[in-house]
Structure 1
């Protein structure tokens, strides 16, 4: 597209581009993948869509998690004739899909759900509606039925032709294809729900002991075809002991337990009743009283007060070993219903959504690692367990799913050549390269620097020795530090922000005599090495905020206890990049067929959301851009806060660097296929507005690529299934989109677990890059990451954008946002001018 075309089409709605062709470069390799072929026997029918409204007896909308599926299962069971004998797929909320139409466009059903409670051993006692226990005088076992009546209204919404899938495969794309795929997704989710799976977005988790790994504090890593965290099932007391990491039940903090247990699902013994915890009793079991109504006696209305403990021990004849001195579990919604805690057991597959501790995260990562052959075996077993051939909805529309892995042809691209110090050329092997005995491409000097230490019983001078030796080996001039400051012991119990202020005051006092001697205006050094007590130290946020935002000092934090030459060699790569240097650059930068023709900027974009559990924390959007064309290794970043959980960047309309005739490239992360049009019509529109603001006659050309990490595709070598695919593997056919422009790439060497490729989608290419050139460019951009000497799994601009966003998120503290709502995302404090153009995020 030329400049005039770009300007005239400025306001048109954009759609993702079609595939211009396939790549041919690289050595061919036979692969198999966890994609299973789907056969469509009947493509002439329609899926009919109906809305579902469920009401209580009083006309109010029915509430309660999972109640919809229970009610619809009842309809499936008792109203087959009214449904013409057809099965349906229900999404659990408002939508129902059926192969073929119902007899009428609107149907009205009445559903009665029965809940049965058993009376045992001559004691016909149960909780009544007022939250008290009732007692009868009968001697035999008896069933009491509690019923709830619902009204279900189903109304016709529309129909979707199944043929659109076949048409799409032939290259004729229709917007309705997304609706049909959504229906099939609902069918598969319902199939998983029937098997009592935990459903998390597009992942299903089975209750199989071999899928679980204990990662501590009452939490399991649940590994099926993907990974999530669930609560450890079993006795509630055992869970609390593990969750709070205490010696025994007498050490449990019940205020913490109250918060953790709320809304968890339990089974109550011996009745096996399942319910949800609404809270804990105010008093312990031996003191928590309720009114016991006596039935079958002379005075039928007589009520006496008894404790929960006495009721279960004396009336129910149950032996309670622990519960007497602990609060009771409350399952009542409007009125209390108490049970002794040792009779309650957590149900399996309850998702844990709170933030994990560092040891838990490390255990989870370790448990998730599966070598390729082990991963293939697990996927094969999961395919057998799912038994898709038994799903009646799939049978109705003639869909069958193959049982074998799909065979695909991949290509292995050659690693790009790198240039290090003195113009020496390095060729990576197996996705990595070695700098031993080599100088850095752009080594920086470390002259005016200082060391501050928050560690106790540690000699900071040892750090200086290693730092200087490693720098000498890599061609970095490291002079002795101008001072070493150790934290005053009296401040070690102070809040983190105070500790940071005090140690910087110590540093300032130490440097004042030096300032007077040298007649320099600047008091603080150019660089600070900061020794933190541990990796998750709460000093990190206040320290980074003070140095990067208020003072403008580049700095590096060290938290490792293992300090050796290898560690400092890796550390110096980060420091060198922060100070403006490079350890290597791509050899093709000056003769790249894509980048060397015209000045080009590469943008990487990402959005970082708040940690798990911080639901109102604003999201952080980050954009990094390459600098010093034609370099693909130097970047700077800009970060903004925006509405919580918003994935589309809201504030891209800012003036961009540069002027004149430029091409622009943009690589975007974290966007689903349903948001591709938003990227083109919202984010890209903002960028065009920024270009127009700079120069109304400037119409640069763009190539826009989306990188997706969150998918389940895996590749395995057909002949060497125990090995990962080699670095540089690319797949752009057979399992890729039949119409749009996408490909999978695995540029890195996976040393642990099974390699996960990145799925790239090219939405727009005004520059006109061939498939081979674009794939080689994306491959090369995984080799310019300055924090290590190996190819990374995703292109470097996106990794940098993620680091910048997460760094900004770490810097923030709760007090910054304490007075803001989700709709009022505040502006982030700006980086100091001395560091805003640096790679502070390395």
Structure 2
């Protein structure tokens, strides 16, 4: 890898991107790219599976589907007005069907699509009618219009090898038919179906939520035939609590438990805000005790003044309070007139009711982010062995009983009742190299490096410790353990931590931390002890990286409370890489890395469903050393829910230049791991993002620079699980497949280079494989090449001596996006001025250039 003789001086600032190499005639053009994309999309060559690794017999939670002899289905458009509430639409269509085609059993998707195996007996293929349905508080009328839209060709389901792209129309019809039965008997959420827990099975998650058990199902394309993917799932639902008891739950913490006796006082601002956030858009049942005729169901818009203060005008023009109204008109004395009222019903009117008469309606689907405690409880409950999970899936299948459903039978479909048997392979892990040529080979997804020194140990001349917690922590013990263990790991810490260790207290603001860091700018490293929760972590990173330009390592106070050598070793893994050290490298480079190769990872994280005015964050990481251990980051704010990385061309230019400045070589190959893209977005990503990478190369050097690109999508949001058929093939107590298990046939697309890889040893529960799909490959990599590269990169994550569940560059993209969210935390953002906000959140140049792995 000889350096380029005519490369630019990295220190020279130029308005135009520099030319990488001598000019020559370019073979790249936009037309060529469009042509290549078209070829990529229309390719019908069957991909040759990989052969490397030890063969293993496994099964997956897929069931083969018999699609019968039906060649076409009839697709009807359905219009229902009003189209709210959504939960009523299926009942409306069931009544419509009973009235107009009682002998037919079409499949309805719950919104606007209806599929039938034969034409429905509708005059002129259209029917309009008004259906009355008993609503929550009264009868309601819905106008239904059903109109024939087109026929759907189902023949590709039986000859799936004829097309590279999945036959989406036919698969959608199949999927909706198979979802029809559970949709009528379960609570549906996306592709999942839930049933309320039976008595004795209720698992309370705290803060007004409980866990429901359910199952996921999706008809997918397989290697030779369609398959049904079925899995067990869990979800948090609001608990059917009286709102008074809900207030008590939300007002309790690990120190104090709130009871109804505590409700004799007005609510604190914190509890009132938590209550309003929880109840907003939820339905409650309202009923005055002893007056069953008063029962109503309302949707909550928010909280308003207490009944003792809230006033409204009666029909005769008299103004009264809610409390007096209930006392004089409803003959009911309120027990909690000082608590807020609920604003319910139409947003055009202000209907206020006392919260003491209200109970949260059970079974409401909400898409909210759970808190740490709720997540922890659910994970512990959901984490089971593979045997238990398989048994639960089989229970679901017996309960679903697809083959007895009239709709499924009318279409002539049937579902096999046993898991698909697969041929998998267990890939060999890479040998890792430490200092003094010490080699370590991972076993069962982990390796011990405690007797070896970092491949390149970082140097620390001056460092200190500061605490941002309420009470000073064990700073002296932490400093002593780090100093002693760093030396044995190969780091060079030339002096002990400078004291005295300061305590900034637990209520500091951003200015306090900035002022402290400015006084410590001559330090190589500042270790900061932060509370387990709260804004301090964000304030530290904002102050250090955006305002001052110093390197920090945060440690939570609960970690300090249980200090031991293993914890210190894990902290040193991060510190060494942050300070430009190299923990370990691959003992032998893979062929694609034998020439200058930049490995990139990208992800776009989106705001939660209940977040408003919060942008999405695009983050791209890239290696800048020949061993693909050291990475740097670029990030951008972009409009919410936008998945395509809008500024990828400029980001790629930055990353290619960074690589060149660090290595004095221009990348000859680019391997790009893109996370978070669904199959439906593949074509858009090909057109937008791969084009952006090509354009970036052309910007850097107009003629003659065309690095070969391999672009893979990394998918974790799927429900495929793999189980060893022979328990002796497992390496853990949960009977998981071994780390390195790879599947690239049968449950994959034979026309696309895609595969599933379990690259890690599961710590608890069933290991989740990661799916990889190649969208572009100028390097003509075989399945073996790509699978091996991917698996090896799962061993290059700096934070632990374990192989992780997806490649290090993708993991780093997640960390980069998380860090970017920290930079804008608690900052009011104008979504029309994201570029301005981006400029205000520039990371200090001293950090970006001198400590590019600061984000790990």
- Confirm or deny a common fold (TM above 0.5): yes
C-alpha contact (below 8 Å) 2:753/2:774 kept by paired residues = yes
Show CA shifts across 1:749-786 (max 9, x none). 11211100001112222211222222111111111111
Aligned-partner Cα distance in 2 for 1:346–1:421: 61
C-alpha contact (below 8 Å) 1:281/1:288 kept by paired residues = no
Larger mean Cα displacement after TM superposition, 543-552 or 687-696? 543-552
Aligned residue number for residue 58 of structure 1: none
Q: Secondary structure at the match of 2:162?
A: coil
Q: Secondary structure at the match of 2:588?
A: helix
**Pick from 525, 529, 546: which aligns with 1:531?**
529
Deviation at 1:661, TM superposition (A): 7.2
- 1:107-122 equivalences in 2 (<5 Å): 107-115=126-134
Residues 303/685 of structure 1: CA separation in 2 closer, same or farther (3 Å cut): closer
**1:484 matches 2:499:** yes
- When normalised by structure 1's length, the TM-score is 0.84
Deviation at 1:114, TM superposition (A): 4.5
Residues 822/159 of structure 1: CA separation in 2 closer, same or farther (3 Å cut): farther
Aligned residue number for residue 712 of structure 1: 719
Aligned-partner Cα distance in 2 for 1:822–1:402: 54
Aligned residue number for residue 640 of structure 1: 636
Aligned-partner Cα distance in 2 for 1:569–1:176: 48
- 1:637-676 equivalences in 2 (<5 Å): 637-654=633-650, 655=653, 656-657=656-657, 658=660, 662-676=668-682
**Pick from 797, 820, 833: which aligns with 2:831?**
820
Structure 2 gap ranges (5+)? 1-24, 215-231
Aligned-partner Cα distance in 2 for 1:719–1:3: 55
Show CA shifts across 1:79-106 (max 9, x none). 226xxx4333333333333323344555
Aligned residue number for residue 143 of structure 1: none
Show CA shifts across 1:573-621 (max 9, x none). 00101111122111121xx23322x322211111122345323311111
Deviation at 1:745, TM superposition (A): 0.5
Deviation at 1:239, TM superposition (A): 2.4
Q: Secondary structure at the match of 2:105?
A: coil
Show CA shifts across 1:292-317 (max 9, x none). 9xxxxxxxxx9999998899899999
- 1:358-437 equivalences in 2 (<5 Å): 358-437=372-451
C-alpha contact (below 8 Å) 1:668/1:705 kept by paired residues = yes
**1:238 matches 2:245:** yes
**1:80 matches 2:101:** yes
Aligned-partner Cα distance in 2 for 1:230–1:467: 45
C-alpha contact (below 8 Å) 1:441/1:584 kept by paired residues = yes
**1:726 matches 2:738:** yes
**Pick from 462, 476, 486: which aligns with 1:461?**
476
C-alpha contact (below 8 Å) 2:614/2:640 kept by paired residues = yes
Aligned-partner Cα distance in 2 for 1:22–1:449: 52
- When normalised by structure 2's length, the TM-score is 0.83
**1:284 matches 2:291:** no
Q: Secondary structure at the match of 1:594?
A: helix
Residues 97/731 of structure 1: CA separation in 2 closer, same or farther (3 Å cut): same
Aligned-partner Cα distance in 2 for 1:80–1:288: 53
Residues 328/622 of structure 1: CA separation in 2 closer, same or farther (3 Å cut): closer
**Pick from 810, 815, 822: which aligns with 2:822?**
810
Aligned-partner Cα distance in 2 for 1:646–1:457: 44
Aligned-partner Cα distance in 2 for 1:728–1:460: 41
Aligned-partner Cα distance in 2 for 1:303–1:804: 60
Show CA shifts across 1:341-396 (max 9, x none). 45543232324444433333333332331221221122112222223224333222
Aligned residue number for residue 191 of structure 1: 181
**Pick from 668, 671, 677: which aligns with 2:683?**
677
Aligned-partner Cα distance in 2 for 1:327–1:628: 60
Q: Secondary structure at the match of 1:621?
A: strand
Aligned-partner Cα distance in 1 for 2:201–2:74: 37
Q: Secondary structure at the match of 1:614?
A: coil
**1:778 matches 2:785:** no
Aligned-partner Cα distance in 2 for 1:719–1:794: 26
Q: CA RMSD in A?
A: 3.3
Residues 778/492 of structure 1: CA separation in 2 closer, same or farther (3 Å cut): closer
Number of aligned residue pairs: 769
Aligned-partner Cα distance in 2 for 1:259–1:616: 16
Aligned-partner Cα distance in 1 for 2:415–2:128: 34
Aligned residue number for residue 512 of structure 1: none
Deviation at 1:276, TM superposition (A): 2.9
Q: Secondary structure at the match of 1:452?
A: strand
Q: Which has the larger radius of gyration?
A: 1
Structure 1 gap ranges (5+)? 56-60, 118-126, 128-145, 293-301, 509-522
Aligned residue number for residue 38 of structure 1: 65
Aligned residue number for residue 155 of structure 1: 147
C-alpha contact (below 8 Å) 2:196/2:213 kept by paired residues = no
Residues 406/322 of structure 1: CA separation in 2 closer, same or farther (3 Å cut): farther
Aligned residue number for residue 549 of structure 2: 552
**Pick from 153, 173, 179: which aligns with 2:163?**
173
Aligned residue number for residue 514 of structure 2: 501
- 1:245-394 equivalences in 2 (<5 Å): 245=252, 247-249=258-260, 250=263, 252=267, 253-254=271-272, 256-268=274-286, 270=292, 274-279=297-302, 282-284=305-307, 331-333=344-346, 341-394=355-408
Aligned-partner Cα distance in 2 for 1:822–1:165: 48
C-alpha contact (below 8 Å) 1:452/1:484 kept by paired residues = no
C-alpha contact (below 8 Å) 1:211/1:223 kept by paired residues = no
Deviation at 1:747, TM superposition (A): 1.3
